[in-house]
């Protein structure tokens, strides 16, 4: 019989957000406004060349990203979504006998990708729904090779500020790679949540991770990237699955980078709706932290599954984390209103 690695047998699989025909889907933190206009036009132009392999070096995309961030292309590595880039970073610096530290709960892929890379995940409990950077620093040992800081944090929507993040990075040993995952950067208040690339761009043990899946509305095409020191990035590129970023994905990402004003406009619409949803939920008596993302977090504990089932039965799909809370993506105004009506009905029934 083929022997499977014991850690994989015990490992929980990644659980994607549910899709039900005809339902309002507020489970996967997707952009609700569809493809950016320039992306749709460019995709229509590139379909004729899909019988050929894509540019494995993603040259045009690297150049466009380098221009956007004011860095050289050799500081950027790409992958099929930020999840693959997380895996590339893990395979670059970790392995059996090493450890990876991250707050928990956080992005579900962290423990999965860590285990697949052969390392041991070290989960540090959140504090007030936010990452406890002091506790995370205390969990670092000689075996630690990488620390994930999801900022803003998925699924709790919270973020850590500049002072705390700077103190954390200043105190980290040189042998530990700090990966700051900024998948939701476009939805964060720049006055409250630092731009890690601007803050730590010159540090050799810091990598900043970004994605086109959220504000850039390319979740179905899978494009993510990281920015770091050239010496490290050269090794990270070796771990990418060959041709993992398809030709349409590369072209769509290049086109999306030219749509900055539209991305900003759409993000502002989401933030306006996020504030409306937050205010209404609090009026109804729900306790939830301030959000810096395109979703809100309801820490419902043992009621989490029942609440999501109640919404699902009425055509609205949310993301439950059983025993902990519920993540609610901010969608279109009418979708958010449908959710709020169900949240009100739940509150009325539970208090009646």
Do β-strands 99-104 and 120-125 pair in parallel, antiparallel, or remain unpaired? parallel
pLDDT tens-digit readout, 289-309: 999 999 999 999 999 999 999
- Whether 351 shows a pLDDT value over 80: the answer reads no
> Would residue 225 be called left, alpha or beta, if left means φ above 0 and alpha means ψ between -120 and 50 degrees?
beta
Residue 20's pLDDT is 79
Element (H, E) at 99: strand 99-104
- How far are the Cα atoms of 123, 233, 298, 349 from residue 131, in angstroms, in the given order? 11, 27, 16, 33
Please check whether residue 216 is in contact with residue 196, taking contact to mean a CB–CB distance below 8 angstroms.
no
Partners of 207 in the beta sheet?
A: 179
Q: Which residues of 171-210 are buried (b: 16+ CB within 10 A; e: fewer)?
A: ebeeebbbbbbbbbbbbbeeeebbbbbebbbebebbbbbb
Contact indicator for 113, 269 with CB cutoff of 8 Å: no
Residues 213-217, mean pLDDT to the nearest whole number: 98
Find the helix or strand (DSSP H, E) in which 206 lies.
Answer: strand 206-211
What is the SS3 assignment for 122?
strand
Render pLDDT for 87-146 as a digit per residue (tens, 0 to 9). 999 999 999 999 999 999 999 999 999 999 999 999 999 999 999 999 999 999 999 999
pLDDT in tens, 16-30: 777 778 899 999 999
On the question of pLDDT at 344 being above 90, the answer is yes
pLDDT 10s digits, 173-211: 999 999 999 999 999 999 999 999 999 999 999 999 999
Burial 255-264 (b: 16+ CB within 10 A, else e): bbbebeebbe
For residues 48-59, average pLDDT? 91
Q: Mean pLDDT over all residues of the chain?
A: 96
Give the long-range contacts of residues 56-65, CB within 8 A, separation 24 or more: 56/242, 56/243, 58/245, 58/250, 60/250, 60/251, 60/254, 61/223, 61/225, 61/245, 61/250, 61/253, 61/254, 64/253, 64/254, 64/257, 65/225, 65/227, 65/257
Domains present along the chain, CATH in parentheses = 6-33+261-351 (3.90.1150.10), 38-257 (3.40.640.10)
Residue 352's pLDDT band, with cuts at 50, 70 and 90, is low
Q: How many helices (H) and strands (E) does the chain have?
A: 13, 12
Q: Are 145 and 99 in contact (CB under 8 A)?
A: yes
Rounded to an integer, the average pLDDT of 227-235 is 98
Confidence (pTM): 0.95
Which two structure tokens, joined as six digits, stand for 58?
């993603």
User: Can you give the pLDDT at residue 350?
Assistant: 79
Q: What integer pLDDT is reported at residue 14 of this predicted model?
A: 76
What pLDDT, in 10s, does the model give residues 240-264?
999 999 999 999 999 999 999 999 9
Residues paired with 102 in a beta bridge: 123, 148
């Amino acid at each position: 019989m083929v022997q499977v690695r014991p850690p994989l047998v015990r490992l929980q699989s990644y659980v994607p957000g549910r899709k039900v025909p005809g339902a309002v889907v507020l489970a996967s933190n997707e952009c609700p406004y569809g493809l950016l206009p320039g992306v749709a036009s460019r995709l229509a132009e590139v379909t004729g060349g899909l019988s050929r392999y894509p540019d494995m070096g993603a040259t045009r995309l690297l150049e466009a990203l380098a221009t956007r961030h004011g860095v050289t292309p050799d500081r950027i590595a790409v992958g099929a979504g930020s999840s693959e880039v997380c895996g590339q970073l893990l395979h670059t610096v970790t392995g059996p006998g090493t450890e990876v530290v991250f707050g928990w709960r956080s992005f579900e892929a962290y423990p999965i990708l860590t285990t697949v890379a052969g390392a041991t995940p070290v989960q540090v409990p959140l504090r007030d729904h936010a990452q406890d950077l002091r506790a995370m620093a205390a969990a670092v040992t000689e075996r630690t090779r990488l620390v994930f800081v999801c900022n803003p944090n998925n699924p709790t929507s919270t973020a850590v500020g500049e002072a705390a993040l700077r103190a954390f990075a200043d105190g980290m040993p040189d042998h530990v790679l700090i990966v700051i995952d900024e998948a939701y950067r476009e939805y964060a208040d720049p006055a409250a949540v630092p731009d890690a690339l601007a803050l730590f761009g010159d540090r050799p043990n810091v990598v900043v991770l970004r994605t086109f899946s959220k504000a850039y509305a390319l979740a179905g095409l899978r494009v993510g990237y990281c920015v770091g020191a050239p010496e490290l990035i050269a090794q990270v590129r070796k771990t990418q699955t060959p041709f993992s970023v398809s030709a349409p994905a590369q072209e769509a990402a290049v086109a999306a980078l030219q749509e900055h004003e539209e991305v900003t406009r759409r993000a502002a619409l989401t933030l306006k709706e996020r504030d409306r949803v937050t205010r209404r939920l609090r009026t109804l008596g729900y306790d939830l932290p301030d959000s810096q993302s395109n979703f809100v977090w309801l820490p419902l504990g043992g009621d989490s599954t029942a609440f999501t089932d109640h919404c699902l039965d009425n055509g609205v799909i949310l993301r439950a984390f059983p025993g902990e809370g519920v993540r609610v993506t901010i969608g279109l105004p009418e979708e958010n209103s449908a959710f709020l009506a169900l949240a009100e009905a739940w509150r009325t029934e539970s208090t009646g």
